[in-house]
Structure formats: C-alpha cells, structure tokens
Amino acid sequence: MSEQLHVTPLHALHIEMGGKMVPFAGYDMPVQYALGVKKEHLHCRQSAGLFDVSHMGQLRLKGENAAQALEALVPVDILDLPNGKQRYAFFTNEQGGISDDLMVTNFGDHLFVVVNAACKAQDIAHLTANLPADIELELIEDRALLAIQGPKAVSVLAALNPSVNNMVFMDAEKMQLVGVECYVSRSGYTGEDGFEISVPAAQAEQLARELLSADEVEWIGLGARDSLRLECGLCLYGHDLDETTTPVEASLLWGISKARRADGVRAGGFPGSNLILEQIATKNISRKRVGLIGKTKAPVRQGVKLFDANDNEVGIVTSGTFGPSIGIPVAMAYVTTVNAVIGTEIFAEVRGKKLAMTVEKMPFVAQSYYRG
C-alpha cells in the first residue's frame, strides 16, 4: 500500500503534475508523466529533463582520515580525489562481488557520498561497521536530490547561477540556487550533459518549479531514466551489478583506479582485492557483461535466457528495453566469455521464440558529457 511507502519532498508536486506513481525502492515514485516514457526520453536527449532522485541516500563522512577510511572499502583512489571533484566508486565484498555503486565528492571539509536507495540501509551498516571511530558518518535526511539532464540543462541552470558554465564533467561545487546553498555536480545517469543538485528539502519544490518554468524543461519519470541510462551503457545496481558479480566480469575495469591495481602505489587493500586483481592479471573469468542489439523490433527484458547457434544456454539478460533514440531493442547481459566477442550472434528466448541479437560495443548512444 502506498501509505507504507516513503515519499520524497517533491511528492505532492509529482501528483499535481500528473505523475503516475509506483513503488520503487521503498518510495512512491513517478514512473512517467503525461508525455509518456518515449517522449520523455527523447525530450531529455534533445532538450532538458528534470528528475527527482531524492530517494537516493546522501551521506557525509567527516574526519581527518575520512578519505583513507573510505578508500579501504573501494578499489578507487579516494586519497588523491581533488577538492571539488566527484568520482564513481563501488563497495566490494570479500568474494570480489559488488555490494553497491556510489558517487563520492570531496568538498574539502567532508566527503559527500550518494548511494542507491535500495542499498541505503546496508551501506550505512557496512560503513558503520568498518569506519574507524574517529570518522563521523552522517545520513543527510533534510535534503532532496534533483537531476537536470540534457543538452539544454546548462543554459537553464546558468540562468539561476552562471558559475555552472565554468564546471566540467565530475566537477562539484557548493553554490547558491533560489537563495539557498546547494551541492551541484556536473554529472548524471543519462549519458547526457547535466547536473545533480542536492538542495535543502524545504526549498526543493521552489527549485523544481523554477527549473520547470523554463520552456526547455519537462519532468522525467523512472521509465525514461531507465531507458536513457541503458542506451548509454550505464549499469543499474541490483540488475547489471550485484554481490555475486566482480568488477572484471561487469566490464568495470575503468572504475578500478590505477593507484589500487597490482602495480599501483596503494595496490589492493580493499575487500576481495586478491581475487579481483588476479582476474585482471589472468583475464580468467567465465562470464562478462556485454551489450546486445536486437535484429527484430521486439524488446528483450531482464531475465530472458540467451542461447548460441547450437542451442546451448550461454547467458541471461540483466536489463533490456526498446531504445527510443535509435529505434531498436537494446540490452545488457552476462554471457560466457567465448560469446562476449563483438559481432557474436546470440538468440534470446522470448515466449518460445528465439530472437536474434548481436553483441555490440557500449554505449549504444554516444555519451555527451561536457569535458571542456
């Protein structure tokens, strides 16, 4: 029942704007608005879309050794993360699996960490259990989180504060918007240029209305958020990543910092590092995350089994949809390494039929991050 679900500070505004609400990660969230998923998706690619992502967990880590303490839990260089910069990271477990992925920002006096909504409680428990006593962990409960994404996002946000024009991808700054201090990063989950904005909950609706007053901006729901990230090859935790999947299997080698690799200045030292570094060295894995493009118009959804030309089962789809930007079905899947080669033909079993798909390089739609 919806009364048992959490709501974001923007819940009443979603209802007012005609949002179709669904349960998601314990929250009552808008899956789409009047435009519908396909038009919302295309609007974000062409103009600017506004997303409520306040269900995500916002955390602060404070203490002189906060970077060192967090670095011990992720295969990522946190110690050398510059002030005003953000980095993608993931928690690993002792088996080398991924227990969540997250964004880490260095704001100088603290680390600002954003974790997935469904993993919030377990991440806080994990940090509480593993951080030294001199590190303060705070769950931020009085801020909302908005994302404005798309080629026109920068001009819309610059009307509220022109300093965003000087930011590049993965920059983060504290700045005034609608008269309050917001944490703004030039990043997002659509593959487009854009910004994520942590805003005090009391001013969240005012900021949202201000952004929506621009002709270029439309509300975008969870449905289009999913198709946008999938076209751009971005993983969704709990679907494309989980506790049984290593970063090497997940094709996330780019997310393992040079400093933490076997020949790095601070090699290993994170949970599961021996197994993960061995997989990097030997390339000895049995399965790999790949992109698939359909040869028919039928979308192939999560959980669909995959077969080779000889009818041997070779993998499973973890995310799949029809890609509105390119007009063909796209999917992510884990397949046996022998079938993970670009150009390999694979067959998806949908309602008793075997549909041909091809292993393709991701992203399916080029990412448009602004790097200056």
In the predicted model, what is the mean pLDDT of residues 311-327?
Answer: 98
Residue 68 pLDDT more than 80?
Answer: yes
Q: Where in the chain is the domain with CATH 2.40.30.110?
A: 286-362
Per-residue pLDDT band for 3 (boundaries 50, 70, 90) equals low
Q: What is the pLDDT of residue 126?
A: 98
- The strand pairing partners of 175, in sequence order, are 182
Tallying the residues shown for the chain, one arrives at: 372
Give the rounded percent of residues in the chain with a pLDDT score beyond 90: 99
Cα 246 versus chain centre, distance? 17
Please give the Cα distance from 201 to 224 (Å, whole number): 24
For the beta carbon of residue 315, count every other beta carbon within 10 angstroms.
24
Residue 1 pLDDT more than 50?
Answer: no
Residue 2 pLDDT more than 90?
Answer: no
Radius of gyration of the chain (CA): 21
pLDDT in tens, 206-246: 999 999 999 999 999 999 999 999 999 999 999 999 999 99
Residue 112 pLDDT more than 90?
Answer: yes
DSSP codes joined into one string, 285-298: -SEEEEEEEESSS-
Fold of the 2-54+141-231 domain = Gyrase A; domain 2 (3.30.1360)
In the predicted model, what is the mean pLDDT of residues 352-372?
Answer: 97
Contacts of residue 4, Cβ cutoff 8 Å, sequence gap at least 6: none
- The strand pairing partners of 235, in sequence order, are none
Q: What is the pLDDT of residue 178?
A: 97
In the predicted model, what is the mean pLDDT of residues 288-295?
Answer: 97
Backbone dihedral region for residue 150 (phi beyond 0: left; psi -120 to 50: alpha; all else: beta): left
Let me know: does 192 contact 44? Beta carbons within 8 Å: yes
Let me know: does 62 contact 110? Beta carbons within 8 Å: yes
Which helix (H) or strand (E) segment holds residue 70: the answer is helix 66-71
Let me know: does 168 contact 82? Beta carbons within 8 Å: no
pLDDT in tens, 5-40: 999 999 999 999 999 999 999 999 999 999 999 999
Let me know: does 357 contact 331? Beta carbons within 8 Å: yes
Please report the sign of the dihedral spanned by the C-alpha atoms of residue 154, residue 155, residue 157, residue 159.
Answer: positive
Fold of the 286-362 domain = Elongation Factor Tu (Ef-tu); domain 3 (2.40.30)
In the predicted model, what is the mean pLDDT of residues 92-108?
Answer: 98
Mean confidence (pLDDT) of the chain: 97
Residue 304 pLDDT more than 90?
Answer: yes
The token pair at 84 is: 């005003």
Residue type at 199?
V
The token pair at 209 is: 């209305």
Per-residue pLDDT band for 172 (boundaries 50, 70, 90) equals very high
Q: What is the pLDDT of residue 292?
A: 98
Shortest CA distance to 113 belongs to which of 143, 93, 134? 143
- The strand pairing partners of 195, in sequence order, are 148
In the predicted model, what is the mean pLDDT of residues 253-272?
Answer: 98
Shortest CA distance to 220 belongs to which of 45, 56, 51? 51
Q: Where in the chain is the domain with CATH 3.30.1360.120?
A: 2-54+141-231
